[in-house]
């Protein structure tokens, strides 16, 4: 049993986008604030801060989760992936990100990092995901610009591109 006191900052060591990372946090610091404020990884957006909007969605040990409903001190030793991990190189977009641009699947872009994390995870685990599955995963996100239709179109397009890439590999 370890007790981390409220008044002190405690070291947190974890893996961020494949690289070792560390920082210090008070127990009450949310993972979303830790990523943005301590790690400087501001790609993850903070919307409602009570788990409803999905903007802050990241991957924790391979599964998507709300970073506003997890504390930084809970991720000791965990693997965290954020939207910064998606692009293969500076100036290049991932297949999914490229499909978002092509289909106008974003306007203001506030919800986009969370949606990209959820759909990237879905397509990695279910390359044959259909529109129904995509909508099921999208139900965990709020987007006020697009009406969701272009997001579904982008995800279906990206899924097809990824399947073709795998088949041709």
Partner 1 sequence: MKPAAFDYVHCETLDEAAEMIAQTGDDARILAGGQSLVAMLNMRLATPTVLVDVMPAQDARKVAADNGTLKISAAVRQASLLDDPNLTSRNPLLAQMLPWVGHPQTRARGTLCGSVAHADPSAEIPLALAALDGTVILRRGRKRRSVKATDFFLGMMLTDKADDEMIEAVTFADVEQGTGTGFAEVGRRKGDFAIVACAALISPKRVRLAVGGVNDTPFVKDWDTLSPQDEGEALNALAWSLDARGDLHATARYRRDLVRHLGAKALKEARTCAD
* 3-state secondary structure at position 95: helix
Closest CA to 25 of 39, 11, 37, 13: 11
Rg (the chain; Cα; Å): 17
Smallest separation, CB 169 to partner 1 (Å): 28
**Cβ neighbours of residue 12 closer than 8 Å, sequence gap 6 or more:** 22, 23, 24, 25, 34, 72, 73, 75, 76
Q: Is residue 43 a contact residue for partner 1 (CB under 8 A)?
A: no
Q: How far is the CB of 7 from partner 1 (least distance, A)?
A: 7
**What is the 3-state secondary structure of 119-143?**
HHHHHHHCCCCCHHHHHHHHCCCCC
Site for partner 1 in 66-95 (CB under 8 A): 66, 68-71, 73-74
Binding mask 44-63 for partner 1 (x = CB under 8 A): -----xxx--x--x--x--x
The residue within the footprint of partner 1, chosen from 15, 21, 24, 27 (CB under 8 A), is 27
Which CB, 137 or 151, lies closer to partner 1?
A: 137
Residues of this chain that interact with partner 1 (CB under 8 A) are 1-7, 26-28, 30, 33, 49-51, 54, 57, 60, 63-66, 68-71, 73-74, 118, 135-137, 139-140
């Amino acid at each position: 049993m370890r007790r981390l006191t409220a008044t002190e900052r405690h070291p947190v060591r974890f893996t961020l986008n494949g690289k070792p990372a560390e920082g210090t946090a008070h127990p009450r610091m949310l993972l979303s604030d830790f990523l943005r404020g301590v790690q400087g990884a501001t790609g993850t957006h903070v919307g409602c801060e009570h788990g409803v909007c999905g903007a802050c969605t990241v991957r924790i040990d391979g599964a998507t989760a709300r970073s506003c409903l997890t504390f930084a001190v809970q991720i000791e030793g965990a693997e965290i992936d954020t939207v910064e991990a998606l692009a293969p190189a500076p100036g290049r977009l991932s297949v999914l990100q490229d499909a978002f641009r092509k289909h106008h699947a974003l306007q203001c872009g506030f919800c986009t990092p969370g949606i990209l994390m959820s759909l990237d995870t879905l397509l990695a685990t279910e390359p044959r995901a259909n529109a129904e599955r995509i909508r099921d995963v999208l139900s965990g996100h709020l987007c006020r610009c697009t009406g969701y239709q272009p997001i579904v179109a982008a995800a279906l397009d990206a899924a097809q591109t990824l399947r073709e890439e795998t088949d041709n590999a």
